[in-house]
Amino acid sequence: MNATPALSPDTLHSQLVAAVGAAAVSQEPARLEHMGTDVYHAGGRPAAVVRPTSVAALQAAVKACAAAGVAMVPRSGGASYTDGYLYAPGGHVLFDCGGLDQVEVDVPNGVVTCGPGVSWAALRTKLAEVGLRTPFWGPFSGLVATVGGSVSQNAISHGSGAYGISAQSVLSMDVVLASGELITTSGSKATRHYGPDLTGLFTGDCGALGIKAAIRLPLIAKRDGFEALSFAFDEFASYHAAVRDAARAAIDEENFGVDLALSQGQIAKQEGVANKAKVAADLMRAAPSKLAGLKQLAGMAMAGEGAMRSGEWMHHFLIEGVDAAEAAAKAKKLRELMAPHGREIPNSVPGFVHTLPFAPLTNVLGPKGERWVPLHGILRHEDVVAFHAALEAFYAERESDMTRLGIWAGGMFEAVGSSGFLYEIALYWPDVRTAYHEQTLDKDFLAKQPVYPANPEARAYVAKLKTDLVALYSKFGAAHFQLGRAYPLRPKLDAQADALLVAIKAQLDPRNLMNPGALGLGG
């Protein structure tokens, strides 16, 4: 059943104002457009945006929407691109959770409680004051992306080599259901695992089961020992074997790789002239000693940007240890493991990521100001090389159309534990910028970017490429994070598992008002 707005915009507005106050409700057209546009494209226009700053206000606004029978869609950092917070019919109430940004650090009990709108960058800064961190500590988009958004759609990157994805670093949550009632997902404050894992149910739900109001994460000590290593590979099969062997050895804190196309384009832009001074200053500040900082800077300067073009595929590892000796021992072991597959190259890229883990979101545009959308699949190791070959054939078949339309693609890779290989494809095409780009990016940065006219032909071609690529991933049995409305889930479940998922949705949201269509439920 589709949720349809039952009230005129005026009536709905006054009911929401009564629930949360005038300052927390907006119907301003530019804000509605911005909040209804993700990194990829625009969805249906919300009737109103509500920005609660307390859990009580969040519950009151949800109750008002429930009484009116209006669809509710949660958004936190807004840095996703899988239609997770886009509701095509429009007329919904969009919950901007960015105002729920409280952080309570409980050092004796080793827990931090975050509002869903806390960005990973803000959390890291706060925890650094007490020498602590969370095991998973954010995606690369963490300057903007939040704890609530990442836990809702399964995120990966910082800390993932050692501690897994966002969902694996959650102790418990408070979630506001479609009725406005609050559920706490664990009966224990000390552990998540007290009977069946109800916390896990709400991880990766893309907001289909409720709006997260608080998330409790475990705390661990920050470690001083650090090493950064990079390797280049000429053959995809040896590249994949190297990443698989490293993942099995479970040595790194995090790892990621890029192909030559992406390295020359997107990532190279990060190391552009404007950023270099800042990186140098950050490096010196972050280095355990001034001498070590100078040594690293000299290494980066010698390597230059050539390091980023050293092979067809380059993989980067960030390694931690309780002290320098442990980190060095791990680095030695990793070098031994990589030697049969590729060659070591200067470590300027992981050095850069170490000093600036949450870079400004300039990558939401391509190196020449093009539009950008990534998609990914998590493959079993035995399928990775065959998928890569099929992808090459896929591009070859479409080469003339892609060239004619100015569409190009690059690859990014990450191990997901020892059993999964994340193969990400980034698509670029010349097209007009959206409200998302205009609102998210710095005006000075935008002023320097080439501007393209609206390009509906290339845009439609990219949309078709996306659909066909998701089908290709599916053929190779890929799983996905960040499902939103872009990736299939239910067709991949067996009948019993699907029936259970549908029954859970019906129990928590019988009228299908909460993010209808996310995860393929209702909508």
d(CA 316, CA 414): 10
Residues 169 and 218: beta-carbon distance below 8 Å: yes
* Contact between 176 and 211 (Cβ < 8 Å): yes
Number of shown-chain residues binding ligand FAD (CB under 6 A) = 37
Does residue 216 bind ligand FAD (CB under 6 A)?
no
Residue 314 tokens read as 């380059």
**Residue in 277, 127, 209 with CA at minimum distance from that of residue 505:** 209
Which of 518, 520, 522, 523 is in the footprint of ligand FAD by CB under 6 A?
518
Nearer to ligand FAD, 206 or 308 (CB): 206
Give exposure, 357-371, as e/b (b: 16+ Cβ within 10 Å): bbbebbbbbbbebbb
Task: Report 20-49 residues binding ligand FAD (CB under 6 A).
Answer: 39
Rule CB under 6 A: is residue 363 a binding residue for ligand FAD?
yes
CB of 206 to ligand FAD, least distance (A): 4
Rounded distance, CA 32 to CA 191, Å? 40
Q: Is 72 in the site for ligand FAD (CB under 6 A)?
A: no
Residue closer to ligand FAD, measured from CB, 134 or 482: 482
Q: With CB under 6 A as the contact rule, which of the stretches 41-49, 127-135, 144-152, 447-455 interacts with ligand FAD? A: 144-152
Contact between 364 and ligand FAD by CB under 6 A: the answer reads yes
Closest residue to ligand FAD: CB criterion? 149
**Minimum CB distance to ligand FAD smaller for 100 or for 219:** 100
Q: Which is nearer to ligand FAD, 145 or 479 (CB)?
A: 145
80 binds ligand FAD (CB under 6 A): yes
Q: C-alpha distances in angstroms, 158 versus 155, 186, 315, 434, 503? A: 10, 26, 15, 29, 35
> How far is residue 50's CA from residue 234's CA, in Å, rounded to a whole number?
51
Work out whether 218 is an interface residue with ligand FAD (CB under 6 A).
no
Instruction: State the DSSP H helix or E strand holding residue 474, giving kind and residue range, or none if neither.
Output: helix 456-475
Tokens of 110: 């080793």
Q: Does 77 bind ligand FAD (CB under 6 A)?
A: yes
Q: How far apart are CA 444 and CA 439, in angstroms?
A: 12
Of the candidate spans 139-147, 333-341, 400-408, 487-495, the one that interacts with ligand FAD by CB under 6 A turns out to be 139-147
Rounded Cα distance, 31 and 426, in Å: 28
Q: Give the nearest distance from C-beta 139 to ligand FAD in angstroms.
A: 3
Among 79, 121, 242, 501, binds ligand FAD (CB under 6 A): 79
Question: Is the distance from CB of 183 to CB of 213 less than 8 angstroms?
Answer: no
Q: Which residues bind ligand FAD (CB under 6 A)?
A: 39, 74-80, 84-85, 97, 116, 139-141, 145-146, 148-150, 152-153, 155-157, 206-207, 211-212, 361, 363-364, 481-482, 484, 515, 518
